[in-house]
Structure 1
């Protein structure tokens, strides 16, 4: 987490502005619309259709209903999401709807679009769901509500007694993919497959390397040769099938180990009653629908599907070298049906554009939430991995979907220890120059460019971004180091999955194009000119700015009339002290080699700069922790650039404003360092005593303004 924070918002100003960046961004706005249910078959292609609570209380409820239109809109949005969560379908719905589909079964394999997936925008990408061994096509039923808002979803239904071979299914999907690609060549096509469906997706991608495909594969059956299912194939010839004992065995493997999962959840602090209840409910649901499962997989069908898995695995593995599509592997850690953890890593190394996300507490049936953590959300996973796009290439600005309240709650919950330990104090400056508590002085309308000091390891990021969401419902779009989005090779640095939270919260890789698009879309942009050199500073360099000589971000801000808000953040010296810095590490051969290795894994920044600011070596300094103090943030008065576009074309005028911004950031730091001395609750113990006497939901006071 520390290294992740340190490297996230390390903006490189020399890379940020390039002379070839001239094209204006796409200004198309995304807005979900309702459209009628549309079903499709192999023969017929579809056409697209067109706040007064304490800070703690605000964190718990996320929003507060107020009279203003901004707060009212936010409240209505949360209500809509709560209603969608309540309407989210469950494992029981899967069996109920599967029963109806099996009863009316007949005809060849075909596509259908679930009713709850009817709401999406006209430019939503197409998502083709390829089912596992059950073949019903309802494997995403618990995800339909969320997926249907951003995808045009078609699900493949394979009738129970259908005898289409694996290669026949591949050809069927290929025809659909080619037809839709011909109709909308710039729209990506997502192939989401689980188990058998993952093999189909890999085969289609291998046979169509020139089509714009994105693969999302859950527990691929490419490892079938190592599966516990393989011995069942010869046994099915001799075992009577009046009682579905084999199915019970298969289901127990799909569910994972309920007892072990219950213990794991208890270790995580989840209530026993809730934990046991969830596990029991799923087991009872499965057992009560055994007749449906028997109808879904009668003896002959089960044997046919197992034989198909064997051939599918061999077919897909023989063509892995031809797969060029962007691929996301979802691996369950407790999959007792297939060795999915081991297989996911093998595929990640074998495929050129592949990432992996691991779900250590999940069994084989990842999408159905079967005996696993019930907060799995495929949309959040796709967003976090940076895999959602509407065009041929990912646009970090126009393809961004802001975090929902539930997504933010999960992120806040997993990082709340930073917030609780530092009890951040936020100060802002109103239009008349008066310093006020909170973020009331921050303009709601963008574009706004926040320019500030990068604390040690970027520790200020989570409290800063969180408070903007909690208090103002503003998403800060951070200009970030490219190491968060791409690694040049495997090595010492954390996996890209460690940065999923930052991508969900709106971080974009540093580039002039992204900066241009953010300002043109009137975003609230977060920029740290000091970058990694400032976040990984040396001993005795607390609150010292390491800014480059070039001042181009001023011109870009003036081009769009953006308000520049300088800000300071202090408190790192109350959290830890650097005792072993970069200079010390470079004197030791082992650590010097480690630093060189880590630095070689990421894209080099500021290659044309000189001096201290050009040192972008990746390393982790030795830090001596302290009893946590408090974080303080002060946002200065906005500096207007509107109407100064011509004036700031002059290099001298531009540099003068650059120095003014830098000076204001230093003034903010000086103000906070002085004022925090009079804060009676600067240290942790007084804060704990205050909350113990006033309630742990109370907001801890600070110094007088």
Structure 2
């Protein structure tokens, strides 16, 4: 993309990147020992030359093959460890080293202000941070619209991760600039229209916080025909109800009020020091370490106030607050006209704006809107003090969890999917650690010669592979199975899931879509023939439950009963791509809970029946026109918890379909294979139910006793094969 304006290099220390200046910019020669921002002084973009190494994840997992070999070489005899755990640790340490902090925000803000020349002059301009990672092919454009600080570095802690999947441009509004809100709207609108004309099939993301969110809404209203996706963090549309509004008449009258305002804003950035200190103690740090950290942060905060005073001198702060007031009124008067897809991010501890209540209001007002709430975060959602860095919001993870990332006109759940990063997977593992310990899963698989082995060596490495199995009560088996297959074999299973996890026909009483974000991060897609076709054509490892919701929400006395459609499914699709079908069974649900109030019981109570029918009307059905034995209204059986038992998984011998496409076009042949797969799943279930009786560690107390002497992360033995 060529730029036509003059170019200024804003530099701070880190690393060098090449800069491609605009034709009229003259000879700019940035210092090669410094990292630069490419900035256009006439609101035009310059292109930046990065090392465009294509990002790779491994064919079906999140670890590269060469890293697996490196990890194996690094395992010592004294401390044997899963090679993928070593790779996770390596990636975590790399991310920690590259992760930026609030200190970096202030340091780089100083450089931007210093580079403005003449004390912060010049018009608003765009810059592209060069610390972004190498992008995926056809990455969409992301325009960051800042809050009242105007610096444009609000995403500094996310530049690297966002830069791997977006082309990022950030808006910088110089300190002394007095461009009105409507003129800022026109500036962003001009850029949006220009980029849409250049790449009409590429969506444009507008990420705005507070004032920037109002700006994004205004641009969306004025450009309904352009493909825009809005991500709004604590929107300034609630300014009339905020604690900022009383500052407008006081600023300029009471000088001390200005200092109080800056201190108040700084506290919103850095958080509550006492709470953060307690969090550190709870996480195992000593009082001495905590005290030393607090002293460093107090010293740093004094310098932060100085930089904040340079970013928002008194006259600029007054101007920005007045602009926020007019921006709020402008956006609110036009909310009814916003048609763009919107993702709302709201904080529960926002001290500047009533963002939590405003999020609820906007969620109702905007037609294509989803919301994600962060109850423990303050106003500056994307900026955190180094003390609580681990409690921050990872914008890329939020976008992936909400299925908000796309590279074309429509969202493609298969080809727009981005596998979890090592840190994302580690967080998911941590959140499920207690469940994994309580169930202590046993994994068995079958080799090509028919031998049953412990572990997952029998699962085919090369796709396409179609896992067909029994859906345990409420899907409890999913987490241990998906996690263990990824950890042990570096295979990411792409699960075919109920549509209610992705979309709703109307709002109601179903769980919020955010409760299913982890499933989407781990690769779940809405179950459909089209998505199955795409997954198998991309040689993925696909997880499919023919029994679906009916099997997961089975009734009393239906444990380990396969409830499948009568007509054959999935067989001919598997044969079309030569996929291996892996039948599997799971046992253990009756050790975990017992159904005491099932669907039949609930339908006998009139008001409960009406409630179930209303739930089913909120989401699409999976199968239409099939017999009632398979179709199932959305409901939740009442389960009485039991003393946690153990989960057992058995993956049968893979069934080959390659070369059988013409044979399986015949319905009878396809149905025969379908029934063969069903029989194999039933055999797997029967095998596990028989063998678990001889497991000396089936009981939770026996497993705890073993781990107390061998370590709680040790693998607990099971029955002999």
Fold-level similarity (TM above 0.5):
yes
Find the counterpart in structure 2 of residue 689 from structure 1. 705
Find the counterpart in structure 1 of residue 687 from structure 2. 671
Find the counterpart in structure 1 of residue 77 from structure 2. none
Cα distance change, pair 218–275 in 1 and its aligned pair in 2 (3 A): farther
Query: What is the alpha-carbon distance in structure 1 between the residues aligned to residue 156 and residue 440 of structure 2?
Result: 41
Query: What is the alpha-carbon distance in structure 2 between the residues aligned to residue 203 and residue 265 of structure 1?
Result: 42
User: Does structure 1 residue 411 correspond to structure 2 residue 422?
Assistant: no
Contact 2:464 2:536 in 1 (8 A): yes
Deviation at 1:247, TM superposition (A): 1.1
Q: Which sits farther off after the overlay, 408-417 or 37-46?
A: 37-46
Find the counterpart in structure 2 of residue 441 from structure 1. 458
Deviation at 1:607, TM superposition (A): 1.8
Query: What is the alpha-carbon distance in structure 2 between the residues aligned to residue 190 and residue 338 of structure 1?
Result: 24
Query: What is the alpha-carbon distance in structure 1 between the residues aligned to residue 17 and residue 470 of structure 2?
Result: 47
Cα distance change, pair 171–385 in 1 and its aligned pair in 2 (3 A): same
Find the counterpart in structure 2 of residue 601 from structure 1. 618
2:181 is aligned, of 162, 166, 171, to: 166
Query: What is the alpha-carbon distance in structure 1 between the residues aligned to residue 369 and residue 294 of structure 2?
Result: 33
User: Does structure 1 residue 192 correspond to structure 2 residue 198?
Assistant: no
Query: What is the alpha-carbon distance in structure 2 between the residues aligned to residue 76 and residue 687 of structure 1?
Result: 28
Find the counterpart in structure 1 of residue 113 from structure 2. 102
Q: Deviations over 1:622-651 (max 9, x none)?
A: 111110110000000000000101111111
Query: What is the alpha-carbon distance in structure 2 between the residues aligned to residue 312 and residue 113 of structure 1?
Result: 25
Cα distance change, pair 565–472 in 1 and its aligned pair in 2 (3 A): same
Counterparts in 2 of 1:637-656, with a 5 A limit? 637-656=653-672
Deviation at 1:147, TM superposition (A): 0.8
2:93 is aligned, of 60, 82, 85, to: 82
Find the counterpart in structure 2 of residue 125 from structure 1. 140
Find the counterpart in structure 2 of residue 488 from structure 1. 505
Query: What is the alpha-carbon distance in structure 2 between the residues aligned to residue 641 and residue 348 of structure 1?
Result: 48
2:242 is aligned, of 224, 227, 230, to: 227
Please provide the CA RMSD for this pair.
2.4
Find the counterpart in structure 2 of residue 44 from structure 1. 44
Q: Deviations over 1:34-84 (max 9, x none)?
A: 99556353553456977xxxxxxxxxx99981269xx99997786456323
Find the counterpart in structure 2 of residue 573 from structure 1. 590
Query: What is the alpha-carbon distance in structure 1 between the residues aligned to residue 581 and residue 295 of structure 2?
Result: 55
- SS of 1:665's equivalent in the other structure is helix
Find the counterpart in structure 2 of residue 397 from structure 1. 414
2:319 is aligned, of 293, 297, 304, to: 304
Contact 1:45 1:180 in 2 (8 A): no
TM-score (norm 1): 0.89
Contact 1:35 1:119 in 2 (8 A): no
Query: What is the alpha-carbon distance in structure 1 between the residues aligned to residue 324 and residue 396 of structure 2?
Result: 28
Q: Deviations over 1:600-630 (max 9, x none)?
A: 111123221013112x211111111110110
User: Does structure 1 residue 65 correspond to structure 2 residue 43?
Assistant: no
Query: What is the alpha-carbon distance in structure 2 between the residues aligned to residue 35 and residue 337 of structure 1?
Result: 37
1:357 is aligned, of 364, 368, 372, to: 372
Deviation at 1:213, TM superposition (A): 0.7
- SS of 1:116's equivalent in the other structure is coil
Query: What is the alpha-carbon distance in structure 2 between the residues aligned to residue 605 and residue 696 of structure 1?
Result: 41
Deviation at 1:185, TM superposition (A): 0.7
Contact 2:147 2:208 in 1 (8 A): yes
Contact 1:560 1:642 in 2 (8 A): yes
TM-score (norm 2): 0.87
Deviation at 1:347, TM superposition (A): 0.6
Contact 2:237 2:328 in 1 (8 A): yes
Deviation at 1:233, TM superposition (A): 0.6
Find the counterpart in structure 1 of residue 437 from structure 2. 420
Contact 2:258 2:314 in 1 (8 A): no
Q: Which sits farther off after the overlay, 164-173 or 81-90?
A: 81-90
Contact 1:256 1:335 in 2 (8 A): no
1:323 is aligned, of 338, 348, 371, to: 338
User: Does structure 1 residue 611 correspond to structure 2 residue 628?
Assistant: yes
Deviation at 1:543, TM superposition (A): 0.2
Cα distance change, pair 390–284 in 1 and its aligned pair in 2 (3 A): farther
Q: Deviations over 1:184-222 (max 9, x none)?
A: 011111111111111100100111011111111111110
Q: Deviations over 1:212-254 (max 9, x none)?
A: 1111111111000011111111111212269833311332345
Counterparts in 2 of 1:452-471, with a 5 A limit? 452-471=469-488
Deviation at 1:551, TM superposition (A): 1.3
Query: What is the alpha-carbon distance in structure 2 between the residues aligned to residue 376 and residue 84 of structure 1?
Result: 15
Contact 1:45 1:179 in 2 (8 A): no
Find the counterpart in structure 1 of residue 676 from structure 2. 660
Cα distance change, pair 37–411 in 1 and its aligned pair in 2 (3 A): farther
Cα distance change, pair 448–118 in 1 and its aligned pair in 2 (3 A): closer
User: Does structure 1 residue 92 correspond to structure 2 residue 107?
Assistant: no
Cα distance change, pair 188–603 in 1 and its aligned pair in 2 (3 A): same
Find the counterpart in structure 2 of residue 450 from structure 1. 467
Contact 2:268 2:380 in 1 (8 A): no
Query: What is the alpha-carbon distance in structure 1 between the residues aligned to residue 262 and residue 367 of structure 2?
Result: 37
Query: What is the alpha-carbon distance in structure 2 between the residues aligned to residue 262 and residue 341 of structure 1?
Result: 25
Deviation at 1:298, TM superposition (A): 0.8
Find the counterpart in structure 1 of residue 639 from structure 2. 623
Q: Which sits farther off after the overlay, 289-298 or 187-196?
A: 289-298
Find the counterpart in structure 1 of residue 193 from structure 2. 178
Find the counterpart in structure 2 of residue 14 from structure 1. none
Contact 2:144 2:207 in 1 (8 A): yes
Contact 1:35 1:118 in 2 (8 A): no
Query: What is the alpha-carbon distance in structure 2 between the residues aligned to residue 528 and residue 256 of structure 1?
Result: 46
Contact 1:62 1:470 in 2 (8 A): no
Higher relative contact order (CA 8 A, sep 6+): 1
Query: What is the alpha-carbon distance in structure 2 between the residues aligned to residue 137 and residue 639 of structure 1?
Result: 55
Q: Deviations over 1:467-514 (max 9, x none)?
A: 111111111000010000011222211100000000000000011111
Give the total of aligned pairs: 658
Find the counterpart in structure 2 of residue 541 from structure 1. 558
Contact 1:124 1:152 in 2 (8 A): yes
